[in-house]
Structure 1
Amino acid sequence: MVLSVLLNLIYPPPPSVVITAMSVVSFLSLSHAGWMEIRGKNMQYSKMKDAQKNIIDDDTKKKKDVQNTKKGKVVPSKVGMTVLYAPAFLVGLSSFILFPLGDFRFNLLRSAVTAHFFKRVFEVLFVHKFSGWMDVETMTTISLSYSTFSAIAIYNQHLMQSLPEPAIDLKYIGIPMFLVGICGNFYHHYLLSKLRTKGDKQYKIPQGGLFSLVICPHYLFEILGFFGISCISQTLYAFSFTMGSTFYLMGRSYATRKWYESKFEDFPKDVKALIPYIF
């Protein structure tokens, strides 16, 4: 019964062992990363990194101390975050040159993927405020993950153009889902950017939007955006990456809430991690 429903929702696996294998690898690796977040082994690119490593955050000493701690294998956070997303955006952009023609679903998918990572790069350059440093190893790992997703998702969709479409068409559900996700994510990133004025390095409890209900509404909308991409794509790979990302962001939001609880005695107990009133 379940298999029958799935076959009506997704394309059959592509004639590529590599893409099928990457569907499994993406799901397992991202899910494992989420479990590591819950266990306190956080990816080294956020406030939780500084808390774990006790890196000094003084302008005159920070660079020297971080470089001594990491033996020079760090870059400024703004540079690192740009490298995280720019290659994936360029992969999406280049697909319009490599595959100038395509059906409606294929063009929707690559447009959504490209728009998703363009928004990320735009936020890094013009919205987010940075004061720390990022591990080169972490930067490389995440950048490869995103650019691989962009490349495989688009190429996989290109292969699907020759196959009959799934019996149940989800792309018209995926379009508004993706738009709500990308807009909601941007809005809450904007609210986060307003927490600290220039020169202010103190963390604060976020306010506004859905922050009164969950500490990571930006992750919630990111998940919604990825589900929108999956519904537009309706491929095994897209859904596998989305489910893996969901489990990762669940772990990340759990760790984030735990961090806020440890830093703020007045942190509201009724504010959940990711899903209002539930988790």
Structure 2
Amino acid sequence: MAKLLQNLVYQEPSSIYLTAISGVTFLFLAYLGISEIIGNHLKYSKFWNVNSRKTSGGGGIKLSSRPGMILLYAPAALLGLASFFIFPGGGIRFLMLKLAVTVHFSKRVLESLFVHKYSGGMMLDSVIIISSSYSFAAAGMIYIQHMTLEAPEPLVDLKFLGLLIFLLGISGNFYHHYLLANLRKENEKGYKIPTGGLFNLVVCPHYLFEILGFLGISFISQTLFSYVCGIGVALYLIGRSYVTRKWYISKFENFPKNVKALIPFVF
């Protein structure tokens, strides 16, 4: 197993700093996932007003959803765009990674502007945490990929498989975001049980496809840091989907119990 894993990862320059960055990133994202499960939610979407009494007492700042969502993704999208000028060239894999990172976060900005419909707000502290995490991941994946340009390619080349998975992930994520947006008529603010697509099987198919998108990016990159980011995002979204399903069950008596949180028929 260890030999197989070595075949899937670049032999990066030996550096205690790179190892530490990967380890800290994984632990931080895993912590966010566990925090969701135990009730310490990042305060956006359905959970923006969780612990509102504590937040208001502590002087928390609430943002409107649209600018808040844009702030989540715009810095990472700009970093992706800037990478084409900071690190020109670099071969097909590096180009694919820069494109995937830029397209992923730019898509989220455009969705925030033109697709999503909003009913609540966001707390600034959560915006800062999420935006910083995405920006760090985007910059880290691109910079570490740049550092491996002179290193031997992994024995098992996953970049084209990664591209296919990324395209599946980003398409499925957009489609289910579109379905969510169309649940509400103009000026409606309340939540409804989502239907259509994979919503008939899981409550968070958009999270499932976002995980696939990051898995695709990690396969395109094949660095340890990119794998850590993909696994870490998956752990966070697993926690988020778990509590989202619990929220729907608590709010809707007719919520279908056979609808899972994230993976059809499994979880």
TM bin (shorter chain): over 0.9
> Which of 152, 155, 163 does residue 164 from structure 1 map onto?
152
Alignment partner of 1:34: what SS?
Answer: helix
Aligned residue type for 1:82: I
> Which of 236, 256, 265 does residue 268 from structure 1 map onto?
256
Could you tell me which runs of 5 or more consecutive residues in structure 2 were left unpaired when the two chains were aligned: none
In 2, Cα distance between equivalents of 1:69 and 1:14: 48
Residue number in structure 1 paired with 2:74 = 86
How many pairs were matched up?
267
Aligned residue type for 1:130: Y
The answer on whether the counterparts of 2:60 and 2:125 sit within 8 Å (CA) in structure 1 is no
Residue number in structure 1 paired with 2:143 = 155
Question: Could you tell me the TM-score, scaled by structure 2's length?
Answer: 0.96
Alignment partner of 2:253: what SS?
Answer: coil
Per the TM alignment, residue 14 of structure 1 is displaced from its structure 2 partner at its CA by 3.2
In 1, Cα distance between equivalents of 2:73 and 2:153: 31
Residue number in structure 2 paired with 1:127 = 115
**Larger displacement relative to structure 2 (191-200 or 8-17):** 8-17
> Which of 190, 200, 206 does residue 178 from structure 2 map onto?
190
Per the TM alignment, residue 70 of structure 1 is displaced from its structure 2 partner at its CA by 6.0
Aligned residue type for 1:170: L
Alignment partner of 1:137: what SS?
Answer: helix
Write out aligned runs for 1:172-211 (5 A). 172-211=160-199
The answer on whether the counterparts of 2:183 and 2:194 sit within 8 Å (CA) in structure 1 is yes
Identity %: 54
> Which of 103, 116, 129 does residue 104 from structure 2 map onto?
116
- Tell me: CA distance 1:159–1:258, structure 2 relative to 1, closer, same or farther (3 Å): same
Write out aligned runs for 1:1-279 (5 A). 2-50=1-49, 52-53=50-51, 71=59, 73-279=61-267
The answer on whether the counterparts of 1:67 and 1:74 sit within 8 Å (CA) in structure 2 is no
Residue number in structure 2 paired with 1:59 = none
Per the TM alignment, residue 17 of structure 1 is displaced from its structure 2 partner at its CA by 3.2
Residue number in structure 2 paired with 1:61 = none
In 2, Cα distance between equivalents of 1:69 and 1:200: 30
In 1, Cα distance between equivalents of 2:212 and 2:13: 25
In 2, Cα distance between equivalents of 1:74 and 1:247: 26
Per the TM alignment, residue 67 of structure 1 is displaced from its structure 2 partner at its CA by 9.3
Aligned residue type for 1:10: V
Could you tell me which runs of 5 or more consecutive residues in structure 1 were left unpaired when the two chains were aligned: 56-65
CA RMSD of aligned residues (A): 1.6
Per the TM alignment, residue 43 of structure 1 is displaced from its structure 2 partner at its CA by 0.8
- Tell me: CA distance 1:70–1:130, structure 2 relative to 1, closer, same or farther (3 Å): farther
- Tell me: CA distance 1:70–1:82, structure 2 relative to 1, closer, same or farther (3 Å): farther
The answer on whether the counterparts of 1:14 and 1:20 sit within 8 Å (CA) in structure 2 is no
In 1, Cα distance between equivalents of 2:220 and 2:86: 21
Alignment partner of 2:7: what SS?
Answer: helix
Aligned residue type for 2:27: L
